[in-house]
Amino acid sequence: MTVLTLRLFLGIAAAGAPIVGWRLSRMPVVAVAPPPAPHSEASSDGPASGRDRDLMRYARHATPFRIGHAAPQRRFGEVPQPAGSPPPSPPPKPSLVLTGLVTSPDTAVVVEGVPGHDGPVVIRLGVSVAGVRLHRLTAGGAVLSGFDTTWTLMLREPWK
């Protein structure tokens, strides 16, 4: 096979490939037909069962969605409180104690009293641990936030 014959063959193949591709995209490989309609007992000529009638009555008379697009009166899963009883008190805020500062290579603090942890916990800048987040270090202290509170803590005992 000469170079000229090879170039001629490749040229014809390159010119014909888009035409063949277009034709194949217009003609499905497998015959496609819509699926048959499902046969249900509710659509038969006989009367609907009692459960179906109850569901149709509910759909016709009830409003399953809030039409006013307003928030619900209470949160999902919330148990309604009897009238006159005070709302439950929020959980107590933890008493945090700053026991150490780390400035390099990563900014971090060592804090005791973090909920869910028995001993001291290292909290890095911007990382939240059990809902407590370190925002910045100050001279000899740190600013932490969490539980709708911001703490400005000073070192309990300076390192000697």
**Element spanning 158, H or E:** none
> What are φ and ψ of residue 153, in 5° steps?
-105, 140
Contact between residue 96 and residue 144 where contact means Cβ atoms under 8 Å apart: yes
Q: pLDDT, tens digit, for every residue of 16-44? A: 888 888 887 877 667 777 777 666 554 55
pLDDT at residue 160 in the model: 46
Separation between Cα atoms, residue 12 and residue 112, nearest integer Å: 78
pLDDT at residue 156 in the model: 65
What integer best gives the mean pLDDT of the chain?
A: 78
For the four alpha carbons of 123, 125, 129 and 131, in that order, the dihedral sign comes to positive
| 68 band by pLDDT with thresholds 50, 70 and 90 | low
Q: What is the mean pLDDT of residues 80-93?
A: 74
Which residue do the tokens 């009293």 mark? 113
Residue 159 has pLDDT above 60, yes or no: no
